Amino acid sequence: MIKAIIFDMDGLIIDSEEISYDCYNSLLKKENLTLSKELYTQFLGKSVENGFHIIEDNYHIHIDIEETLVEFKETMQRIVKERGVPLKKGLIELLEYLQKNNYKTIIATSSNLTRVHQLLDDDTFSRFDNIVCGDEVTNGKPHPDIFLKACQKLGVKSDEALVLEDSEAGIQAAYSASIPVICIPDMKYPDQVYQDMTTDILESLDQVIDFLKEN
Protein backbone atom coordinates (compact mmCIF):
# COMPACT_ATOMS: atom_id res chain seq x y z
CA MET A 1 0.00 0.00 0.00
CA ILE A 2 1.38 3.40 -1.00
CA LYS A 3 1.72 5.70 1.99
CA ALA A 4 4.22 8.29 0.71
CA ILE A 5 4.95 10.19 -2.49
CA ILE A 6 8.52 11.29 -3.20
CA PHE A 7 8.87 14.24 -5.57
CA ASP A 8 11.90 15.23 -7.61
CA MET A 9 12.10 19.03 -7.97
CA ASP A 10 13.67 20.35 -11.19
CA GLY A 11 11.57 19.53 -14.21
CA LEU A 12 8.96 17.77 -12.04
CA ILE A 13 7.67 20.27 -9.47
CA ILE A 14 8.91 23.37 -11.26
CA ASP A 15 9.66 24.20 -14.87
CA SER A 16 13.29 25.08 -14.14
CA GLU A 17 15.40 23.08 -16.58
CA GLU A 18 15.39 25.80 -19.25
CA ILE A 19 16.54 28.31 -16.64
CA SER A 20 19.39 26.04 -15.54
CA TYR A 21 20.34 25.46 -19.16
CA ASP A 22 20.56 29.22 -19.72
CA CYS A 23 22.66 29.61 -16.56
CA TYR A 24 25.22 27.07 -17.80
CA ASN A 25 25.42 28.80 -21.16
CA SER A 26 25.81 32.21 -19.57
CA LEU A 27 28.87 30.98 -17.68
CA LEU A 28 30.30 29.15 -20.70
CA LYS A 29 30.34 32.34 -22.79
CA LYS A 30 33.69 33.32 -21.30
CA GLU A 31 35.07 30.05 -22.69
CA ASN A 32 33.49 30.81 -26.10
CA LEU A 33 31.44 27.64 -25.72
CA THR A 34 27.77 26.82 -26.10
CA LEU A 35 26.20 23.92 -24.24
CA SER A 36 24.13 21.77 -26.57
CA LYS A 37 20.72 20.61 -25.40
CA GLU A 38 21.74 17.08 -26.31
CA LEU A 39 24.62 17.18 -23.82
CA TYR A 40 22.46 18.97 -21.26
CA THR A 41 20.12 15.98 -21.10
CA GLN A 42 22.99 14.15 -19.36
CA PHE A 43 22.75 16.72 -16.52
CA LEU A 44 19.10 16.04 -15.73
CA GLY A 45 18.53 14.82 -12.18
CA LYS A 46 22.15 15.48 -11.19
CA SER A 47 23.77 18.24 -9.14
CA VAL A 48 25.09 21.46 -10.68
CA GLU A 49 28.59 20.41 -9.65
CA ASN A 50 28.23 17.17 -11.59
CA GLY A 51 27.00 19.21 -14.53
CA PHE A 52 30.24 21.16 -14.62
CA HIS A 53 32.27 17.96 -14.37
CA ILE A 54 30.41 16.68 -17.44
CA ILE A 55 31.28 19.92 -19.23
CA GLU A 56 34.95 19.52 -18.28
CA ASP A 57 35.02 15.97 -19.63
CA ASN A 58 33.25 16.78 -22.89
CA TYR A 59 34.89 20.11 -23.74
CA HIS A 60 38.31 19.25 -22.29
CA ILE A 61 38.56 22.39 -20.20
CA HIS A 62 39.35 23.05 -16.54
CA ILE A 63 36.70 24.75 -14.41
CA ASP A 64 37.23 26.22 -10.96
CA ILE A 65 34.18 24.43 -9.54
CA GLU A 66 33.95 26.34 -6.26
CA GLU A 67 34.14 29.75 -7.95
CA THR A 68 31.84 28.72 -10.79
CA LEU A 69 29.17 27.41 -8.41
CA VAL A 70 29.03 30.85 -6.79
CA GLU A 71 28.66 32.46 -10.22
CA PHE A 72 25.98 29.94 -11.16
CA LYS A 73 24.00 30.77 -8.02
CA GLU A 74 24.22 34.51 -8.72
CA THR A 75 23.20 34.00 -12.35
CA MET A 76 20.28 31.83 -11.27
CA GLN A 77 19.11 34.49 -8.82
CA ARG A 78 19.14 37.11 -11.56
CA ILE A 79 17.26 34.97 -14.07
CA VAL A 80 14.69 33.82 -11.51
CA LYS A 81 14.09 37.44 -10.49
CA GLU A 82 13.58 38.39 -14.14
CA ARG A 83 11.42 35.43 -15.23
CA GLY A 84 10.07 33.69 -12.15
CA VAL A 85 9.81 29.90 -12.01
CA PRO A 86 6.44 28.41 -13.03
CA LEU A 87 5.03 25.38 -11.26
CA LYS A 88 4.36 22.27 -13.31
CA LYS A 89 0.81 21.59 -14.47
CA GLY A 90 -1.27 19.73 -11.92
CA LEU A 91 1.12 20.13 -8.97
CA ILE A 92 -1.20 21.98 -6.59
CA GLU A 93 -4.17 19.75 -7.43
CA LEU A 94 -2.06 16.67 -6.72
CA LEU A 95 -0.69 18.03 -3.43
CA GLU A 96 -4.19 18.94 -2.26
CA TYR A 97 -5.41 15.43 -3.10
CA LEU A 98 -2.47 13.84 -1.26
CA GLN A 99 -3.02 15.95 1.84
CA LYS A 100 -6.74 15.23 1.86
CA ASN A 101 -6.07 11.49 1.60
CA ASN A 102 -3.31 11.41 4.23
CA TYR A 103 -0.35 10.59 2.00
CA LYS A 104 3.06 11.68 3.27
CA THR A 105 5.03 13.88 0.86
CA ILE A 106 8.69 14.76 0.49
CA ILE A 107 10.94 16.54 -2.00
CA ALA A 108 14.09 14.58 -2.94
CA THR A 109 16.37 16.83 -4.96
CA SER A 110 20.02 16.88 -6.00
CA SER A 111 20.03 20.62 -5.20
CA ASN A 112 21.03 22.10 -1.86
CA LEU A 113 18.48 23.76 0.43
CA THR A 114 19.55 27.29 -0.53
CA ARG A 115 18.73 26.61 -4.17
CA VAL A 116 15.42 25.00 -3.21
CA HIS A 117 14.31 28.14 -1.38
CA GLN A 118 15.57 30.21 -4.29
CA LEU A 119 13.32 28.37 -6.75
CA LEU A 120 10.28 27.37 -4.65
CA ASP A 121 8.00 29.95 -3.06
CA ASP A 122 7.13 29.52 0.62
CA ASP A 123 3.53 28.51 -0.05
CA THR A 124 4.53 25.64 -2.35
CA PHE A 125 7.36 24.52 -0.07
CA SER A 126 5.06 24.43 2.97
CA ARG A 127 2.73 21.94 1.23
CA PHE A 128 5.36 19.18 1.57
CA ASP A 129 5.97 17.27 4.80
CA ASN A 130 9.74 17.08 4.43
CA ILE A 131 12.73 17.44 2.11
CA VAL A 132 16.03 15.68 1.47
CA CYS A 133 18.76 17.50 -0.47
CA GLY A 134 21.74 16.25 -2.41
CA ASP A 135 24.25 17.35 0.21
CA GLU A 136 22.59 15.08 2.80
CA VAL A 137 23.70 11.88 1.05
CA THR A 138 27.05 10.47 0.00
CA ASN A 139 26.09 9.51 -3.54
CA GLY A 140 23.72 11.49 -5.74
CA LYS A 141 21.40 10.22 -8.45
CA PRO A 142 21.58 7.77 -10.24
CA HIS A 143 22.57 6.11 -6.94
CA PRO A 144 19.61 5.21 -4.69
CA ASP A 145 20.80 7.05 -1.57
CA ILE A 146 18.53 10.09 -1.80
CA PHE A 147 15.33 8.08 -2.15
CA LEU A 148 16.28 5.68 0.63
CA LYS A 149 16.95 8.73 2.82
CA ALA A 150 13.53 10.10 1.88
CA CYS A 151 11.86 6.87 3.01
CA GLN A 152 13.84 6.99 6.24
CA LYS A 153 12.75 10.57 6.94
CA LEU A 154 9.09 9.72 6.34
CA GLY A 155 9.25 6.44 8.26
CA VAL A 156 8.07 4.24 5.39
CA LYS A 157 9.41 1.15 3.64
CA SER A 158 10.51 1.21 0.00
CA ASP A 159 7.42 -0.66 -1.15
CA GLU A 160 5.20 1.86 0.67
CA ALA A 161 6.52 4.79 -1.37
CA LEU A 162 6.13 6.04 -4.93
CA VAL A 163 8.71 8.24 -6.68
CA LEU A 164 7.72 10.88 -9.24
CA GLU A 165 10.60 11.70 -11.59
CA ASP A 166 11.33 13.28 -14.96
CA SER A 167 14.95 12.23 -15.50
CA GLU A 168 16.69 9.00 -16.40
CA ALA A 169 19.10 9.46 -13.48
CA GLY A 170 16.15 9.73 -11.13
CA ILE A 171 14.41 6.69 -12.63
CA GLN A 172 17.61 4.65 -12.16
CA ALA A 173 17.95 5.87 -8.57
CA ALA A 174 14.38 4.88 -7.69
CA TYR A 175 14.71 1.52 -9.43
CA SER A 176 17.97 0.80 -7.57
CA ALA A 177 16.20 1.69 -4.31
CA SER A 178 13.41 -0.81 -5.17
CA ILE A 179 10.83 1.99 -5.06
CA PRO A 180 8.14 2.12 -7.77
CA VAL A 181 8.63 5.17 -10.01
CA ILE A 182 6.37 7.10 -12.34
CA CYS A 183 8.08 9.20 -15.00
CA ILE A 184 6.59 12.50 -16.14
CA PRO A 185 9.03 13.50 -18.90
CA ASP A 186 10.27 17.07 -19.18
CA MET A 187 13.13 17.84 -21.58
CA LYS A 188 13.80 14.23 -22.56
CA TYR A 189 11.57 11.20 -22.98
CA PRO A 190 13.37 8.28 -21.31
CA ASP A 191 15.18 5.70 -23.43
CA GLN A 192 13.69 2.21 -23.51
CA VAL A 193 15.99 0.81 -20.82
CA TYR A 194 14.64 3.44 -18.39
CA GLN A 195 11.05 3.09 -19.57
CA ASP A 196 11.30 -0.56 -18.53
CA MET A 197 12.24 0.53 -14.99
CA THR A 198 9.09 2.62 -14.53
CA THR A 199 5.70 1.66 -13.19
CA ASP A 200 4.07 4.12 -15.60
CA ILE A 201 4.82 7.14 -17.77
CA LEU A 202 2.33 10.00 -17.53
CA GLU A 203 1.96 13.35 -19.27
CA SER A 204 1.37 15.53 -16.21
CA LEU A 205 1.15 15.48 -12.42
CA ASP A 206 -2.63 15.64 -12.27
CA GLN A 207 -2.76 12.19 -13.90
CA VAL A 208 -1.07 10.77 -10.78
CA ILE A 209 -4.38 11.21 -8.94
CA ASP A 210 -6.13 8.74 -11.25
CA PHE A 211 -3.18 6.34 -10.92
CA LEU A 212 -3.48 6.36 -7.13
CA LYS A 213 -7.26 5.89 -7.24
CA GLU A 214 -6.85 2.88 -9.53
CA ASN A 215 -4.04 1.34 -7.51
pLDDT band at 31 (very low <50, low <70, confident <90, very high): confident
Are residues 77 and 180 located together in one domain of the fold?
no
Q: Which range marks the domain in which residue 53 is found?
A: 17-83
Instruction: Report the number of distinct structural domains present in the chain.
Output: 2
pLDDT digits (tens, 9 = 90+) for 123-159: 999 999 999 999 999 999 999 999 999 999 999 999 9
Are residues 77 and 44 located together in one domain of the fold?
yes
Mean pLDDT value across the chain: 94
- Tell me how crowded residue 33 is: count the other CB atoms within 10 A of its CB: 15
- Which helix H or strand E contains 168, and what residues bound it? helix 168-176
Are residues 73 and 98 located together in one domain of the fold?
no
| Spatial distance between the Cα atoms of 178 and 6, rounded to a whole number of angstroms | 13
Which of 65, 83, 101 delimits the end of a domain?
A: 83
- What is the average per-residue pLDDT within 152-168? 97
Are residues 32 and 136 located together in one domain of the fold?
no
- pLDDT, greater one: 46 or 104: 104
Are residues 127 and 55 located together in one domain of the fold?
no
Are residues 96 and 185 located together in one domain of the fold?
yes
Which of 83, 111, 141 delimits the end of a domain?
A: 83
Are residues 167 and 101 located together in one domain of the fold?
yes
Q: By three-state DSSP, how is residue 194 classified?
A: helix
pLDDT band at 44 (very low <50, low <70, confident <90, very high): confident
- CA-based Rg of the chain, rounded to a whole angstrom? 17
